[in-house]
A and B are shown apart, each in its own frame.
Chain A
Amino acid sequence: MSDNTVGTTNRLEATDPGGAPRGGVVISGLTLSFGRGEARKEILRGIDLDVPAGKITGLAGESGSGKTMTGLAVCGLLPAGADLGGSIRFEDTELIGLKQRSMNRFRGAKIAMIFQDPSASLHPMLTIEAQLVDHYRHHTGASKRAGRERALEMLGLVAVPHPEAALRKYPHQFSGGQLQRIAIASALMCEPSVLIADEPTTALDVTVQAGILRLLRKLCDELGIAIILVTHDLGVMSALADTIAVMRMGEIVEHGDRYEVITAPRHPYTKALIDALPESGARSSDGTES
């Protein structure tokens, strides 16, 4: 995107103490809880995470570990009643405590999110064109024509075949893999600096998954987008993430270079996760181990 060059030059200016490099997100001491008193449930207990531009930061862990909630917190999509503490800095802005209206400027535009089920993020009764273009025009105030051109460009970028025809179709007319590509195109419409991908390939077949993984890598490398990859799938992690943060019960127990986390995990929990993989749990361990 054209923004990319600007991003590089601004990076120097923006790295004042406490500020994130342009396009990245710096999370520090993030806490999240629901409820009060005895019913209080702590979901995140002090997350520190650097999400630099042009890198894919993986968040691994089991369900309930808080990895999805971390993604939602960055996106400002937490459910009502969430009690958020600590800091999430995006460029020069502190996102925590931001008014709903100011947050709307970032959400879906500068910070976008894609989910496990792409059909859930697309309106079933609207054409692809209506969804992509309206969203873009809402954030940028661009003309209909400009919006349409942008949509065509993005559909081309994510390699949806026949973008012109695709714009006129409805979500149910696409396969899961194509729909995820369209959801990604929709997320890219407003030139986001940060893309949160929550289990983006979990619902897809492995052969389709391979294509989406390549696409995400390309977006990161070519557009310099910071990607937060949330997944429980260590195979996907190993293929795509640059660094891996392993979460457990609302904390990051280990964060480091992909190769090191996977081949030489330091935390026992990471080791247990890797040992639970069927490849390493050979058939000889039947019964006794489980």
Chain B
Amino acid sequence: MTERGMTDVLAVQTRRKGRLRISKQLRTPLAITGGAIVVFWLVIALLAPSISPYDPLAQDFERLQAPGAEHWFGTDQVGRDVLSRVVSGAQVSIPLALMLVVFAMLIGSVLGAIAGYFGKAIDEMIMRIADLVFAFPTIILAMVIAAALGPSLTNAVIAMLIVSWPAYARVTRSLVLGARNAEYVIAGRLLGNGPFTSLGKDILPNVISPVVVLATLDVGTAILLLSGLSFLGLGAVPPTPDWGSMVADGVQQFSSWWIAAFPGLAILTVVLAFNFLGDALRDALDPRSQEAVQGRAL
């Protein structure tokens, strides 16, 4: 009783500063770097038409020029300006990846929550489908689906949606399983909450933060996968300035390193940035980091 009381006292103190502490945890160098890079790319994506020096699709220039004053990132094998294509590529890759992750999270967490809450047959059905998807390596399954649907960015996104929702479903299901018998959930049921009210009002708001963290970490992966599909010719159709297909083009022009290197660098920075952000968010929202503070008091 004493211990609980003591924990209580300290818990109240630390949690009162909860908001402050979270922002503190988001103020680590890595988190700031990640945030800055993400903001940078978002700005680029937004302003792409006005800041790209040339038309990204125009084949107006001498082919395979090395980076120089005229073309900072050089030109590609059909005479397009690489810088303009990288800048425009931000408009393709980033929104697609974000959309993909948001939808995968929505579909996955809703299905996972339903499976976890209702259990039994519904749980079996949803989770067996998820297992089915899990049984294959993500990228290979995505390739198969994308190939079957035919190469286009939309189809690549659909393929990736199909392979990425189960991860969210699993995480959400286990979180819901852990929370559905919490006393406040039961108290709500005793006051007449039906299952969906219970899920929406009591359960999901309390368990969803790890899922959001997972999603942030997944943005990077999504960009990589999308690029990968495009690289393999299953995503963006030429001449769309997609980073993945640009890398694919560049790899064939081995001596002209700049064609692949700059879009590759763009992918690298965005993936890293979202990973940094996700890590920081995970640390900030991790209930254990709060418990650690309380635990020390004992």
With known contacts A63-B8, A63-B9, A64-B9, A79–B3 Cβ distance under 8 A = no
Interchain nearest-CB distance for B7 vs A (Å): 9
Least CB separation from B297: chain A residue: A79
Of the candidates A64, A80, A81, A115, the one whose C-beta lies within 8 Å of that of B6 is A64
Q: Does B137 count as interface, using CB distance less than 8 angstroms?
A: no
Do B1 and A63 touch (CB < 8 A)? Answer: yes
Identify the B interface with A (CB < 8 A). 1-6, 8-9, 13, 295-298
The answer to whether residues A68 and B2 also contact, given A63-B8, A63-B9 and a CB cut-off of 8 A, is yes
Asked if residues B296 and A198 are in contact (CB atoms below 8 Å), the reply is: no
Q: Is the CB of A199 within 8 A of B3?
A: yes
Which residues of chain A are near B297, meaning CB under 8 Å?
34, 79
Inter-chain CA distance A79–B292, complex, in Å, is: 11
Binding site for B on A (CB under 8 A): 34, 41, 62-64, 67-69, 72, 79-81, 115-116, 198-199, 202, 230, 232
The 8 closest A-B pairs by CB, nearest first: A63-B5, A79-B296, A63-B2, A64-B9, A68-B2, A202-B1, A64-B5, A63-B6
- Give me 10 other A-B pairs in contact (C-beta within 8 A), A115-B3, A199-B1 excluded: A41-B13, A63-B1, A63-B6, A64-B5, A68-B6, A72-B298, A79-B295, A81-B296, A198-B3, A230-B2
* Complexed CA–CA distance, A79 and B2 (Å): 16
Distance in Å: Cβ of A104 to nearest Cβ of chain B:
19
CB-CB < 8 A to B2: which residues of A?
63, 67-68, 116, 198-199, 202, 230, 232
Kindly provide the distance from the CB of A277 to the nearest chain B CB, expressed in whole angstroms.
Answer: 15
What are 26 sample pairs from A and B whose C-beta atoms fall under 8 A apart? A41-B13, A62-B5, A63-B1, A63-B3, A63-B4, A63-B5, A63-B6, A63-B8, A63-B9, A64-B5, A68-B2, A68-B3, A68-B6, A69-B6, A72-B298, A79-B296, A79-B297, A79-B298, A80-B296, A116-B1, A116-B2, A116-B3, A198-B2, A198-B3, A202-B2, A232-B1
For B5, the chain A residues whose CB sits under 8 A away are: 62-64
Write out the residue numbers on chain B whose beta carbons fall within 8 Å of the beta carbon of A63. 1-6, 8-9
Select the residue from A63, A69, A232 with max chain B CB neighbours within 10 A: A63
Complex alpha-carbon distance, A64 and B295, angstroms: 15
Which residues on B sit within 8 Å (CB–CB) of A79? 295-298
